[in-house]
């Protein structure tokens, strides 16, 4: 497949990861040409991070790997991780998930980058004594040049806690990249990022590729896979289901799982039938000239809006524009600086409900779900059967209720949270990034249920999401926030 003289940057043969006798990842084989890109696409739980760890050689002690790994043609047994550890930084690099956690919080950014130049890339330990100081200042200079090249000169003397997530990602990239490893493994670089940030990440990776680096990119983000191009492999439950050129594979997926995965991408969701603005429906809540700021920073000002029964309104705006605060003001959880919120007078307080980004945080963690829900049913004198019916519609098995919130998966818990909210016969549901922590397939399911059930009980939905595609697919209209003012589309 490749030119004979050009070695593969990475070749993996029959790689498996085991927990005891249980195979977590099985029989993976692939190769990345020098300067090439391979994207591993899969949901969380598909074993893609384990795969990355197995290749790096830093699997947790309870796991073991089998198979063969060829790094720039050099063979090593997959089980023998320590051999590849010697090449960390110099021959194989890893850009970790959530790079802001990967930077040492107590060290300035510049020193963390310089450290790689000093200790990893200058491989002359014998000369250290005579030129330790010199090496250090050279490394510092290289680090500053590198930071400047990515527009980070202002952040050089800052600590990780003082810089944004995007900057942290670039810093981590530089620290990883400094020793010039020809192969970089990138783990979920776009997790939780909004559109602009995703663009930055893509640019970074494309620049690295342009320098001749080989990339192994692990992601669940179909958009990124498409943008990076190169080779694509789809992973399901620890097994490769499909592999090929990205463009071709994305255009014509053969495997059913790949098809479902691609269909779950909000960009591919079916557009809803066009609905008229329900001006004739009753006004649930009216916001008049709302403004809010935190300290010096103004979030939004002069926002006025009416929300009618049964409509889905998406709140949009750049991050930091106060989307969550706006929703909380509408619910009455937060007081606006100026302006007022008028709720329909005949509605009880419990008619205004909220769905949270992290469903696990919205339940009392120490008591089983059943107890929480029973408490609610008892408090309002409701029928348990009504709840059971709701749960059935949410496709929740009753046995799940005997678990604690953290013992239930995010998608399931979000659906239970939805059932809990619907039980209150709400007039308005404020859904604050309800699916941003969920995998694409689950996300699609939860959003669909939310909209469908809300419409069924006639509840309005105030949806905050960073994903423009979701907005496009489900929202009846958009409410854009900005510090200057608002615009309704």
Partner 1 sequence: MALDRYFPSRKRRGLLALPALAVTLAATGWHKALAHGDESGHAHGSIAQADKDILTVVGPWELTGLDPTRSGYMFARMEVLETLLEVDDAGQLQPSLASAWSVSADGLQWRFVLRNAQRYHDGTALTPASVLACLQRAQARPGVLRLADIASLRLEGQTLVIVLRRPFGPLPYLLTHYTTQILAPASFDAQGNVVAIIGSGPFRIRSIALPQQFDVERVPDSGAGRAIQRARYISVSRAETRTLLVQSGQADLAFSLDPPSIRALQNSPRANLLSAMLPRTTILKLNAGHPILADVRVRRAISLCIEREGIARALLRDPDLGATQLFPPSLARWHEAALAPLHTDLPQARSLLDQAGWLPGSDGVRRRQGQRMELNLSTFVDRPELPLIATALQEEMRQIGIAVRVIIGNSSDIPAGHRSGQLQMALAARNYGNLPDPVASLLQDFGPQGGDWGAMGWDNQEVPALLAQLAAIPADSMARGNAERTRIVALLQAQLPVIPVVWYRQTCAVSRRVRGASIDPFERSYRISSLQWT
Partner 2 sequence: MSSLSSSLPLLEQPGPRRWRSSQRAGLALLVLVAGFALLGPLLIPTDPAHQQLARYLETPSLAEPLGYDQLGRSMLARLAHGARLSLSLALLSVLSAAIPGTVIGLLAAWCGGWTERVLAALADAVLALPALLLVLLLAAFAPGGFWPLYVGISLALWVEYFRVVRAASRILLASPQVEASRLLGFGALYIVRRHLLPALLPRLLTLVRFGLAGAVLAMSALGFVGVGLQPPTPELGVMMIELLPYYREAPWLVAAPVLVLFLGLLGLLLLSPQGEAA
Partner 3 sequence: MDLNRFLSARGGQRLAAALTPRLLQAVLVALLVGTLCFFMTRMLPGDMAYRIAAGRYGYDMVTTEAALAVRAELGLDRPWFMALSEWWSRLLHLDLGVSQVTSQPVLAEIGHQLGPTLRLSLLAMALSLLVGPTLGVLAGLHPGRWLDRATLALSVGLRALPSFLLGLILVLLFSVQLGALPAAGHGDHGGILLPALTLALGLAAVSCRVARDAMVQVRQSEYFAFALTKGLSPAQALVRHGLRNVAVPVTAYLGVQLVMLVEGVVLVETIFAWPGIGHALVHAIFGRDVPMIQGTALVLGLMFVLFNALVDAACALLDPRGRA
Residues near partner 2, by CB under 8 A: 19, 24, 44-50, 60, 62, 97, 238, 331, 333, 349-350, 352-354, 356, 358, 361-367, 372, 375-376, 379-380, 403-404, 407, 409, 417, 420, 424
Give the N- to C-terminal CA distance of the chain in Å, as an integer. Answer: 52
- Chosen from partner 2, partner 1, partner 3, none, partner binding at 358 (C-beta under 5 to 8 Å by type): partner 2
- Chosen from partner 2, partner 1, partner 3, none, partner binding at 224 (C-beta under 5 to 8 Å by type): none
Query: 81, 189, 359, 410: which one contacts partner 1 (CB under 8 A)?
Result: 81
The Cα–Cα gap between 115 and 125 comes to 14
- Is 107 an interacting residue with respect to partner 3 (CB under 8 A)? yes
- Chosen from partner 2, partner 3, partner 1, none, partner binding at 107 (C-beta under 5 to 8 Å by type): partner 3
Is residue 321 within 8 A of residue 485, CB to CB? The reply is no
- Chosen from partner 3, partner 2, partner 1, none, partner binding at 82 (C-beta under 5 to 8 Å by type): partner 1
119 or 202, CB closer to partner 3? 119
- Is 58 an interacting residue with respect to partner 3 (CB under 8 A)? yes
The Cα–Cα gap between 225 and 205 comes to 12
Query: 61, 271, 276, 397: which one contacts partner 1 (CB under 8 A)?
Result: 61
- Is 132 an interacting residue with respect to partner 3 (CB under 8 A)? no
- Chosen from partner 2, partner 3, partner 1, none, partner binding at 280 (C-beta under 5 to 8 Å by type): none
Q: How far is the CB of 82 from partner 1 (least distance, A)?
A: 6
Other beta carbons within 10 angstroms of residue 48's beta carbon come to 24
- Is 252 an interacting residue with respect to partner 3 (CB under 8 A)? no
- Is 62 an interacting residue with respect to partner 1 (CB under 8 A)? no
The site that binds partner 3 (CB under 8 A) totals a number of residues, namely 32
Is residue 321 within 8 A of residue 300, CB to CB? The reply is yes
Q: Which stretch binds partner 1 (CB under 8 A): 25-33, 77-85, 162-170, 399-407?
A: 77-85
Query: 7, 76, 98, 199: which one contacts partner 3 (CB under 8 A)?
Result: 98
- Is 89 an interacting residue with respect to partner 3 (CB under 8 A)? yes
The site that binds partner 1 (CB under 8 A) totals a number of residues, namely 5
Name the token pair of 405.
Answer: 């919130």
The Cα–Cα gap between 52 and 235 comes to 12
- Is 128 an interacting residue with respect to partner 1 (CB under 8 A)? no
Name the token pair of 186.
Answer: 């990138």
Q: How far is the CB of 187 from partner 2 (least distance, A)?
A: 10
Q: How far is the CB of 367 from partner 2 (least distance, A)?
A: 6
The Cα–Cα gap between 341 and 409 comes to 36
| Phi, psi angle pair for 29, to nearest 5° | -135, 135
- Chosen from partner 3, partner 1, partner 2, none, partner binding at 199 (C-beta under 5 to 8 Å by type): none
Cross-sheet strand order for the sheet of 183-187 = 92-95, 183-187, 214-219, 37-41, 231-236, 239-245
Q: How far is the CB of 364 from partner 3 (least distance, A)?
A: 27
Q: How far is the CB of 89 from partner 3 (least distance, A)?
A: 2
Query: 58, 243, 372, 482: which one contacts partner 1 (CB under 8 A)?
Result: 58
- DSSP class of 475: -
- Is 85 an interacting residue with respect to partner 1 (CB under 8 A)? yes
Beta partners for residue 51, in sequence order:
none
- Is 169 an interacting residue with respect to partner 3 (CB under 8 A)? no
The residue to which tokens 């010697």 are assigned: 86
- Chosen from partner 1, partner 3, partner 2, none, partner binding at 484 (C-beta under 5 to 8 Å by type): none
Q: How far is the CB of 163 from partner 1 (least distance, A)?
A: 30
Q: How far is the CB of 63 from partner 1 (least distance, A)?
A: 12
- Is 366 an interacting residue with respect to partner 1 (CB under 8 A)? no
Q: Spell out a b/e string for 403-418, using b for 16 or more CB atoms within 10 Å of the CB, else e.
A: ebbeebbbbbbbbbbb
> Which of these, 332, 339, 325, lies nearest to 464 by C-alpha position?
325
- Dihedral over alpha carbons 359, 360, 363, 364 (to 10 degrees): -170
50 or 390, CB closer to partner 2? 50
Question: CB pairs under 8 A, 24+ apart, for 109-112?
Answer: 109/147, 109/152, 109/155, 109/156, 109/157, 109/158, 109/159, 109/160, 109/163, 109/171, 110/140, 110/143, 110/144, 110/147, 110/156, 110/157, 111/140, 111/143, 112/171, 112/175
The Cα–Cα gap between 253 and 234 comes to 10
The Cα–Cα gap between 245 and 249 comes to 6
Angle, CA 52 vertex, CA 223 and CA 407 arms, to 5°: 80
112 or 444, CB closer to partner 3? 112
Q: How far is the CB of 17 from partner 2 (least distance, A)?
A: 10
Query: E-strand spans in 62-213?
Result: 63-71, 74-77, 92-95, 183-187
Q: Which stretch binds partner 1 (CB under 8 A): 80-88, 132-140, 227-235, 253-261?
A: 80-88
| Binding-site ranges for partner 3 (CB under 8 A) | 56, 58, 85, 88-90, 93-94, 96-98, 101-107, 115-116, 119-120, 157, 159, 161-162, 172, 175-176, 178-179, 181
| Binding-site ranges for partner 1 (CB under 8 A) | 58, 61, 81-82, 85
């Amino acid at each position: 497949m490749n030119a004979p003289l050009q070695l593969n940057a990475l070749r993996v043969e029959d790689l498996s990861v085991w927990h005891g006798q249980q195979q977590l990842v099985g029989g993976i084989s692939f190769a990345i040409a020098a300067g090439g890109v391979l994207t591993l696409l899969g949901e969380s739980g598909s074993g893609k991070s384990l795969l990355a760890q197995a290749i790096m050689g830093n699997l947790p002690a309870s796991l073991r790997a089998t198979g063969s790994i060829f790094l720039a043609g050099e063979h090593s047994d997959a089980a023998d991780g320590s051999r590849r550890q010697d090449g960390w930084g110099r021959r194989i690099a890893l850009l970790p998930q959530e790079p802001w956690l990967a930077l040492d919080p107590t060290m300035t950014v510049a020193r963390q980058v310089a450290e790689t130049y000093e200790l990893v890339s200058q491989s002359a330990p014998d000369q250290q004594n005579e030129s330790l100081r010199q090496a250090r200042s050279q490394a510092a200079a290289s680090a500053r040049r590198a930071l400047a090249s990515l527009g980070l000169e202002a952040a050089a003397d800052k600590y990780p806690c003082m810089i944004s997530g995007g900057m942290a990602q670039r810093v981590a990239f530089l620290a990883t990249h400094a020793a010039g490893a020809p192969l970089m493994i990138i783990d979920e670089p776009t997790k939780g990022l909004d559109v602009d940030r995703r663009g930055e990440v893509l640019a970074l990776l494309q620049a690295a590729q342009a320098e001749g680096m080989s990339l192994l990119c692990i992601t669940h983000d179909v958009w990124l896979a498409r943008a990076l191009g190169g080779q694509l492999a789809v992973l399901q439950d620890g097994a490769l289901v499909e592999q090929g050129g990205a463009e071709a594979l994305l255009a014509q997926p053969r495997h059913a799982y790949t098809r479902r995965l691609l269909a779950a991408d909000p960009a591919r969701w079916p557009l809803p039938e066009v609905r008229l603005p329900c001006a004739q429906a009753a006004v649930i809540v009216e916001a008049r000239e709302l403004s809010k700021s935190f300290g010096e920073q103004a979030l939004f000002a002069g926002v006025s809006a009416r929300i009618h029964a049964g409509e889905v309104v998406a709140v949009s705006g750049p991050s930091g524009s106060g989307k969550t605060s706006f929703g909380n003001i509408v619910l009455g959880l937060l007081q606006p600086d100026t302006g007022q919120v008028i709720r329909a007078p005949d509605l009880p307080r419990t008619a205004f409900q909220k769905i949270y980004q992290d469903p696990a945080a919205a339940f009392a963690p120490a008591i089983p779900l059943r107890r929480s829900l029973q408490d609610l049913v008892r408090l309002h004198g409701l029928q348990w059967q009504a709840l059971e019916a709701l749960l059935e519609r949410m496709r929740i098995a009753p046995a799940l209720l005997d678990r604690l919130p953290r013992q239930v998966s995010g998608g399931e818990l979000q659906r239970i949270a939805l059932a809990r909210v619907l039980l209150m016969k709400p007039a308005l549901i404020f859904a604050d990034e309800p699916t941003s922590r969920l995998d694409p397939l689950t996300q699609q399911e939860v959003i669909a249920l939310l909209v469908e059930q809300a419409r069924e009980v006639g509840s309005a939905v105030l949806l905050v999401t960073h994903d423009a595609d979701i907005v496009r697919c489900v929202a009846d209209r958009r409410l854009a926030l900005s510090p200057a003012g608002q615009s309704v589309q």
